[in-house]
Amino acid sequence: MKCFFFGAIIVVLMTGRIFSQDKATTASDTLKTVVADSLARKAKNPTGAMLRSIIFPGWGQWYNGKHFKAVLVFGAEAGIIANTIRQNQKVQASKSDLEREFYLENRRLSNWWLAGAILLSTIDAYVDAHLYHFDESPNLGAGLPAVRENERAQEVFWLWRAQIQF
């Protein structure tokens, strides 16, 4: 008896979610909204983002509106530059040729890491500027309404099954 009431409560709660849509939207309304939203944002210049990223670490990402990524890029490049400076100081303070060669190799390696980080951040800024208007929303319907079965019972069953799986 308790299972029956529990099952009935679940069905009632789920049907409330299914039939709770306030207004019907058409594909053209959704498409108009998407187009209006995409036109409201000003386009970013990929070359400008790339040059900004080369001039100052993270500036290209900041220009593209990716502020957290800009802070990470700045921190990574600043850390590599600090390591290069520290390795250079150790080269100048080294006493033996073996020690000097060790720190020179580490400085060269650090310079290669810096070049790779700059190249990666430059490419990232360029691609982010190109994809600035790309729709990242989870709606994969391209503005089309969802196709549903005609029978309400089957619709409730499939939606209930999907909710249980997640």
- Which residues does the chain have with pLDDT short of 50? 17, 19-22, 149, 151, 160, 165-166
Alpha-carbon span 41 to 27, nearest angstrom = 22
Alpha-carbon span 88 to 114, nearest angstrom = 14
Half-sphere CA count of 68, side-chain side, radius 13 A: 0
pLDDT of residue 7: 59
Alpha-carbon span 60 to 71, nearest angstrom = 11
pLDDT of residue 146: 55
Residue ranges per domain, the chain? Answer: 45-133
Alpha-carbon span 65 to 60, nearest angstrom = 9
Alpha-carbon span 142 to 152, nearest angstrom = 25
